Amino acid sequence: MKNYLNFLFLCSLSSSYGGEPSDQSVAYSTCFCGRPDALAPIGVMGDHLHPQGGLMVSARTMWMSMNENYLGANTLGDLQAQQVGPFGVVPTKMDMQMDMVSVMYSFTDDLSLMAMINHVDFTMDHAFGMGLPEGNTFRTTSSGWGDASIGVLARLSSSQNSELIGGLNLLLPTAELDQTDLIPPAGGIRRLPYPMQLGHGSWGIAPTLTYTQHREKWSYGLQAKKQWLLHDNSEGYRRGDRFEASAWIAAPIDTNLSASVRASYSHWGNIEGKDPLITMLPVPTARENLRGGERLDLIAGLSYAFEESNTRLALEVGKSVWQDLKGPQLGSDYTIQLGLQYSW
């Protein structure tokens, strides 16, 4: 499926808009003026550039809820998930909140610098005991700064109504990987499993390629990005490489408001190596070979552009419609992302 999506993305780059473009079919990627669908949906980053000397600050908050275990593409009940291992503990629900702040500065009309930092909060519920007797539950939490990134965006080609932008981000290992909490079945305060740690903790690179086109009454775009981690982190492991692809369509509803629909595909690998303080825990989230998978989300969005203020408020709500996970592993249920952007 990943190769097929890559093929569709590359084919789309050869598309062009036939006929004479109207005044409104230009690529409004350098400002918030003109149309409320000037920029990509808020969940897509690295889709546009600004004029030389331009500066943009963005603040985003994302919520994700995970509440069902998967083995491949099939869901498992809690008792079924326990029996696979067998495991003494199984996760039953996980919630995540990520707050992100990013800054973009344009050195020229065709080259920009980007930097981002994020703060994450995790909560995971568990059931434990042979046969998961009712009432044997506990919750773990972790919170702190995640991994930061810095990178460049460059305009590779453009026409009056379309644009191709390439990006390259350097991933910075700023997250702490020693989060702990009370795990009753393990006998006290212990290091939390891999999904509850705050980031990768490894240096990495993440190239992106984004194509956008604006037509008279609507717009669309495609983006592909890949993340490679370059080495094991300080705790002796490396999270799997990740590939993501998005395709979206947007259209103005009125002068200030636009709506969008986006499909997002993700594929990620298992963990290589291991943290000896994690791997001994009797729970699937501590198993390095149960961390990979792939997922398809459908996402609806709204974007509101404030007149003459270069400010945008945007929202996306997504639902996972298909996932195939190395399991037992908690699958995604829904995501919400809210963002505010200001440029000058």
Domain count, the chain: 1
* pLDDT at site 298: 98
Residue 65 CA neighbour count, 13 Å, CB half:
7
Using the predicted structure, report yes or no on whether residue 320 has a pLDDT greater than 80.
Answer: yes
* Structural domain boundaries, residue 319: 2-14+21-343
pLDDT band, very low/low/confident/very high, at 135 (cuts 50, 70, 90): confident
Q: pLDDT for 227-256, tens place per residue?
A: 999 999 999 999 999 999 999 999 999 999
Using the predicted structure, report yes or no on whether residue 25 has a pLDDT greater than 90.
Answer: no
Using the predicted structure, report yes or no on whether residue 12 has a pLDDT greater than 50.
Answer: no
What mean pLDDT is predicted for residues 278-296? Answer: 96
Torsion angle, CA of 240/44/163/55, rounded to 10 degrees? -110
Tokens of 264: 């997002």
Kindly report the average pLDDT of the chain as a whole number.
90
* pLDDT at site 307: 77
What mean pLDDT is predicted for residues 115-119? Answer: 98
E strand intervals along 47-136: 55-72, 74-76, 89-108, 111-128
pLDDT band, very low/low/confident/very high, at 26 (cuts 50, 70, 90): very low
pLDDT band, very low/low/confident/very high, at 98 (cuts 50, 70, 90): very high
Residues 308/284, Cβ–Cβ less than 8 Å: no
* pLDDT at site 9: 39
CATH at residue 156: 2.40.160.40
Among residues 75, 29, 21, 41, the alpha carbon closest in space to that of 317 is found at 41
Using the predicted structure, report yes or no on whether residue 208 has a pLDDT greater than 80.
Answer: yes
* pLDDT at site 106: 95
Residues 216/34, Cβ–Cβ less than 8 Å: no
* pLDDT at site 193: 97
* pLDDT at site 245: 98
Using the predicted structure, report yes or no on whether residue 294 has a pLDDT greater than 80.
Answer: yes
* pLDDT at site 118: 97
Kindly state the greatest CA–CA separation across the chain: 71
pLDDT band, very low/low/confident/very high, at 340 (cuts 50, 70, 90): very high
Among residues 112, 157, 109, 154, the alpha carbon closest in space to that of 13 is found at 157
Using the predicted structure, report yes or no on whether residue 5 has a pLDDT greater than 90.
Answer: no
* pLDDT at site 1: 53
Q: pLDDT for 210-230, tens place per residue?
A: 999 999 899 999 999 999 999
* pLDDT at site 16: 34
pLDDT band, very low/low/confident/very high, at 34 (cuts 50, 70, 90): low
